Structures are given as C-alpha cells and as structure tokens.
Chain A
C-alpha cells in the first residue's frame, strides 16, 4: 500500500521550514554548567524526514524539546516559518517517549482531546476526524478501550493518532518506537511513512537505532558527545524501503553501507560513553 502512495518528487531543495542558528543549551548540574546542545546549525525543508541519532546523552532529545518550545535555548535562535519559537504550539506536535494518554478517557475520547482544545464543538465532526486518524494508525478495533487495557504498541498508535488529528505541520518524535517488539515496530514504520507521504508533514525523529534511521530518513543528523551536530548524511535510498524493496541486493548493499558510515560517525563521536550500537 505504502508503495503506491509514495510521492516520487525529490525532497531535497524544498522550502526551508525550520532553521536553527547557533543553538546551544546549557543546564546547571551540581553547580556545574554543562552544555547539552552545542552550537547547532540546521535547516530543515518542508516535508523533509530528518532523523537525529547519537550516543546517549548527546542532546538529541533536548534539541527536540527546544524545537517544540518546551525549553528555551541558552543562545542562538530557532525559527519555524520565519518566526522565532517562544513556546509550544499546535503547529509542532510532539510525540513523547512515554505515553501520555489520559487514563480516564477511552481511545476515541483521547484522540478527540486535541480537537476539543482547538475549540471544535461539533461532536459528530470531532468523532469523524478522530476515527479517520484512529483508522490510519490501525486502531479502529480498540476505540472503546481504556489506556489500562492497551498494549505498548497500541498505546504508541493511540498517542500518534492524538497528535496527528491536530494536523501539525511539524511532527517531533522522541524515540516513539523505543522498546516495542520488532514486528510492531515494522508495522509502525510503514504507517508513519504512509502518513508522512499522505499528510506532507515535516518530521524530526530522534532515535538510537540506526536501522530505523536509515529506513525512514531523508537525511540523518549525527550528534556527538559534546552536543554538536558532527555530520549530516544525505539518504538517497529509493523509497519504498520496506517490504519487497528491501530484498533487492543492490538496495540492501546501499542500506548496509549507509548504516555502516553512520555507525562509524556515531562511534567516533561517542568518546568514552557507552556505545549502544
């Protein structure tokens, strides 16, 4: 399915949507100033799928929080569509590592929450919209279930639908598929690619898994131990990248080669940190 929906136009050279200039973030820890994000410069095009990788503690999640507006940069500026980011906003939907489903609402009501926040009172329309995105993440069989009754993968799907229904231009995903079994993960990779192609969002996706990074990305930014972006890889692998296409020998070789290059870059930047790759 994903194959046919795929948008064939190249993504490089699109209009810049998000622009980071000299962005740094310091935290105080035990009365010591530590730099978590260090002078990051990055332009992200509209409808680009950017994946950020790096060793633990390299500031990937913090960078995402800065773009979301949950934290303010210590120096530098982040612009979205030309405007400096000051606070979180509905144009940047963030999907967190932990599930944030409201335990007193069922799946349908959780997904409707974002529409209620937007002040949309047409219940029939809210329901229709919510169902559309619940369908999209493949959860329509569980609309009436409460979060306690959902498995980890189902919670991920529900969280995804909760954010998607608000139609954010930008999706910020902080390790959204961590700790899922590989089958669920594969399904969600297909889903998120399909949604991205269909909804034309711009996605910034943080992960520590390189397979995932190579599978999903247009570009891969590698952050190192000092909080700097050490290198950005262009990922020109043809799409679709899942299913039959992945069996092609040439595709496979290119996939492995790119993953290898990224891995070396990550290792080089990991310093003494435990490298999980």
Chain B
C-alpha cells in the first residue's frame, strides 16, 4: 500500500518536475529582461519604463482602469467576426477545390499569388471601399485569414483515400453522401490546422490594421501609449497581445487534439 502511494507520488512528482521546465523558461526570460533594463541596455531614458517590474505595475493599473478590457474586446471581436466570414467562404471553396482536380488547377496560381500579398497592401483599397473604421480592419483580417483556411481545407479534401471513395460507391453512395460522410470529416484535421494558422496570422496583422484610424483596439492602444509617452503601458499592452495570442492558439491546439483522427 505504502509502496503504491509512493509510486503514485513519484509519478506526480515526475510530471511536475517535467512541467516545471516550462515555468523555469518564463522565469529565466523575466530575469534576463530585468537584468537588461537594470544594465540600461535600452538607453538611459527608457530602461526603467521597459523593466518587467514597471510593466507589471502598468498592467495592474490598466486592469483597474478598464483599459485592458476596453481595448481587448474590440480586437477580439474584429478577429472573430472576420474569422467567421472567412470560414463561411473558405470551407466550401476549399472542399470543392480540393475534391475537383480541374477547380484546383483553375484556382492554383491565383490562390498562391493572392496568399503572398500582405493584406496591408490592400489597405488603401479597403479604405476607399469601406471607409476608415471597423469595416476596413475586419476586411483586412478576413483577407488574411481566408488563404490558410482555403488551402489547408483543399489539402485535406484532396488526400481522401480513393479506397474510401470506392467503398462508398460500392455501398451505393451518392455524391452528396460522399461529401458529407467522407470528404468533409476526412478534411477536418486539415481544416483545424488551417484555422490555427489563420488565427495566428490574423492576430499578428491585427495590430498594424488597428493603427488605421479606429478609436479602440490593442493596435490603437499601442500608438496611444506612445503618444502619451507611457512606455510602461506600451510594454504592458505588448504582454496583453502576447498572452491573448497564446490563449487563442491554445484553444486551437486543443481543438486539433480533440477532433483529429489518426491512421
């Protein structure tokens, strides 16, 4: 009995010891950062404001004043709305392009070409069409999210095993049934990979996109802290951006591990 308990404790201990390296990495990073600011590596004027300690104080201040929520919520809303519309278009397009070889050939060059253009390059056009504001930002984010979603979904739909299709046909399945029961479920792991990439790149593009004349959002707040010379808040905002991005990615990783099938 005692032996069993000890081994169980040993297993938990080993697990914690293993996981502690993640925490240790963060602690080391903070120490190096603190040391850099104490050695005034960022220059005499800024070093104090750039320290993790100052950032932590600014974070508390921003949480209390409501600044974090005030600017995170619109940012998240823009990303989620644009993702919703990107998924709406990309999944059907991806499945069709992946399944029908001719459609894949027709769209290949255009899609690969479009995907390499930074959405910020479309910014003037977005402003001409949608005006300065929310709609332009959402459009740019939509434009950045749609390519990884389409291309990954197409990849997934394209590598459906011909065996599964033949089996479905010998069971008398029709095209609609094959699409619903075989192609779409087969493509789900790739769709989720596409979603993960789309969320990642949207969150990255969000900050510059929100510098284009919207009155709120984390990208806006970065410029705002600079204009107010509040570099401690600037660093705190960067931390907020990083943490939310990490959490969004964690959700995606969880989705992938939950809904991916293995061969």
Contacts and interface: CB of A to CB of B under 8 A. Distances in A.
B261 A88 contact: no
Contacts of A99: 163
A103 B172 CA distance: 20
A34 interface: no
Nearest to A93: B170
Interface string A87-100: 11111111010111
A93 B263 CA distance: 24
A116 to B, nearest CB: 6
Contacts of B185: 102, 104
A94 B188 CA distance: 27
Given A100-B163, A148-B263, A163 B181 contact: no
Nearest to B169: A88
Nearest to B189: A104
Given A103-B262, A104-B185, A163 B177 contact: no
B236 to A, nearest CB: 44
Contacts of B186: 102, 104
Contact of A93 (B164, B171, B174, B188): B171
B167 interface: yes
Bin chain B's interface residue count.
Answer: 20 to 34
B173 interface: yes
A92 B164 contact: no
> B-side binding surface: helix, strand, loop or mixed?
helix
A232 B185 CA distance: 45
A113 B171 contact: yes
A103 B261 contact: yes
Nearest to A88: B169
A163 B170 contact: yes
A114 B173 CA distance: 8
Bin chain A's interface residue count.
Answer: 20 to 34
A70 B169 contact: yes
B182 A102 contact: yes
A96 B163 contact: yes
Given A89-B172, A148-B263, A117 B166 contact: no
Contact of A92 (B166, B170, B188): B170
A187 B213 CA distance: 74
Among the interface residues B166, B168, B172, B181, which one has the most CB atoms of the partner chain A within 10 A? B172
Given A116-B177, A117-B181, A148-B263, A102 B171 contact: no
Contacts of A244: none
A100 B167 contact: yes
Interface in B168-209: 168-174, 177, 181-182, 185-186, 188
B170 A88 contact: yes
Contacts of A93: 170-171
A29 interface: no
Contacts of B262: 103, 148
A117 B177 contact: yes
A70 B165 CA distance: 11
20 contacts: A68-B170, A70-B166, A87-B169, A88-B170, A96-B163, A96-B166, A100-B161, A100-B167, A102-B164, A103-B262, A104-B188, A113-B168, A113-B181, A116-B177, A117-B174, A118-B172, A148-B262, A162-B171, A166-B171, A172-B170
Given A96-B163, A113-B168, A117-B174, 8 more contacts: A87-B169, A88-B166, A92-B170, A100-B164, A102-B182, A117-B171, A118-B172, A166-B172
Q: 6 smallest A-B Cβ distances: which pairs? A: A90-B172, A104-B261, A100-B167, A88-B169, A117-B173, A94-B170
Interface of B: 161, 163-164, 166-174, 177, 181-182, 185-186, 188, 261-263
Interface of A: 68, 70, 87-94, 96, 98-100, 102-104, 113-114, 116-118, 146, 148, 162-163, 166, 172
